[in-house]
Structure 1
Amino acid sequence: MEAGSFVRNPIPWTPKSPFRRRIDSAFPRSVRVSDSASSDGGYRGPKPTRDLVANWVSKNDDFVRSLPIYVGGTSLLAVLFNRTVSGIAPVADASSSQSRADLLTLGLAVTNILSGLVWLSVRPKTISMVNPIGIECQRINPQLPTPVVSELLWIWESLSDVTCCMSLVVVYDRSCILQIGFAAESSEIEGEAVSVDAITLMQGSLYQGVMKSGVQNYLANLSLYPGKSELPFLPLNTQAVILQPLGDRGIAIIGGDTIRGFTTSDQAWISFIGEKLDATLVKCLVNF
């Protein structure tokens, strides 16, 4: 099979397509717990409990962060008022137990106020999904057997439906067999997606590291890794990337639109998908 040989949209991918129905029957999609529970008469496991305090705090974040300031300010005013009405001299006297108690209370009140100011100034950064900067493409090697094409499309649909995946590239046996989803736009040809140079990719440190370790590599925040230059075919604002080895002959590159958007469950599921895809490719592409 020649590297770089692709066909675009080789199979119509519509919800009512007969080919789509064949893929769904061959590779059924996972169901949620609620769906399976309704089919077997109800969920019999332990029921999750709602943390009312955590829910209330999350809904009243600004008030909770300001609460130490209110408590500290009220305590400070209370100490000054008590000092005024009690008839004690305003000058602190170390020999007086009341003065020592007031000093301790004032220290706690000031600490509360400072804590509230810190809570208001330090806030967690909001992480949200981004719109990919690029164009959509679907490139599949035309020489692939139908079962392999079916599984590749099923994998893409599953990942894009249940994870933050927006790009999928599969390189196998020194050739890119799939590039689907969003891709970076070529600077030479307007409206054309940047193609995957499998040979150059395989010479990079990211590919070499994954193949040497044989385990998945998750780049949770791609912008922090200098190796992102080895993935020029992904959209410019790709937020996270999973590099999943396919045995010792290839790799699947999954780009996401959210920083740390792939959960631990997603990573484990993608590992199983990689093993299944590798077994399919080895079985169907004997002469690949």
Structure 2
Amino acid sequence: MAKSDPNHVLRRLPIFVGGLGAVLLLVNRLLTPQITDSQARADVLGVILSAVLILIGLIWQQVQPRSPDAVELVGEEGFVLAPDLPDRVKTELAWASHLLLTNTVTRSLVVFYQGKVLLRRGILSTKSEVKPGVILKRVLEKQQPVYLVDLKVYPGRIEFDYLPENTQGVICQPIGNQGALILGANAPRSYTKQDENWIAGIADKLAVTLNEEMTNYN
């Protein structure tokens, strides 16, 4: 279920204040038996200010950026490592995945390396196997990240069936030239440029460790 916009009260505040001001001016005018020139001028200014506030509120409803709508991803929370991984690799994967899940909008992640799934963590899909589709293959071949800001609008989203079915955004970040870090977010357009740079740095660190430790892994 999508969460409501946390700024909706702020957006409507000028409309509320402007409307309240107009009502109070009207009540004051009705209850005043004799209107002086100075009071009439003050009432005119009050009406103008109320109208401006209402107009500002209406404009905010249209142009003020809204926070991305977050959803609860479908699936069970879990932490699954491939069997018989070297201890150093287990530690590195646990560290990296914890940082990503607690410091970004990532809610589900997969580490795919040398054709195998080394780690699944966060909200897990019922499907665990990763079959690289067009998008992931391009990331692996070109070693360039791909950020799908709003997954539901991309026809290629069907290849990410190993992520929760209602995943909103996906980053595929290459891990050296042999794998990829696949991150699923619970809100569209939610990764910042700083997040992307940070994810790239973590992937580079994983690449060094995996390249050193995974040579003899079967």
Please report the TM-score for the alignment, with normalisation by the length of structure 2: 0.72
Contact map agreement 1:66 1:116 (CA 8 A) in 2:
no
**Partner of 2:146 in structure 1?**
217
Shift of 1:120: 6.9
**Partner of 1:155 in structure 2?**
96
1:127 aligns with 2:77: no
Change (3 A) 1:283 1:64: same
Question: Identity across aligned pairs (percent)?
Answer: 31
Alignment coverage as a number of residue pairs: 185
Amino acid at match of 1:175: K
Please say which structure displays the higher CA radius of gyration: 1
Amino acid at match of 1:248: N
SS at match of 1:122: helix
Amino acid at match of 1:62: R
1:62 aligns with 2:12: yes
**Partner of 1:248 in structure 2?**
177
1:171 aligns with 2:112: yes
Contact map agreement 2:11 2:57 (CA 8 A) in 1:
no
Change (3 A) 1:262 1:60: closer
Shift of 1:252: 0.8
Contact map agreement 1:170 1:253 (CA 8 A) in 2:
yes
Shift of 1:250: 0.6
Change (3 A) 1:206 1:282: same
Unaligned residue ranges in structure 1 (runs of 5+): 1-57, 70-111, 185-192
Shift of 1:226: 1.2
What CA distance in whole angstroms lies between the structure 1 residues aligned with 2:189 and 2:147?
Answer: 9
Shift of 1:116: 6.7
Give RMSD over aligned pairs. Answer: 3.3
1:281 aligns with 2:210: yes
Please report the TM-score for the alignment, with normalisation by the length of structure 1: 0.55
| 1:160-209 CA distance string (max 9 Å, x none) | 1111111110111111111111122xxxxxxxx21123xx22xx111122
Contact map agreement 1:136 1:182 (CA 8 A) in 2:
yes
4+ aligned runs moved over 6 Å, structure 1: 65-69, 115-118
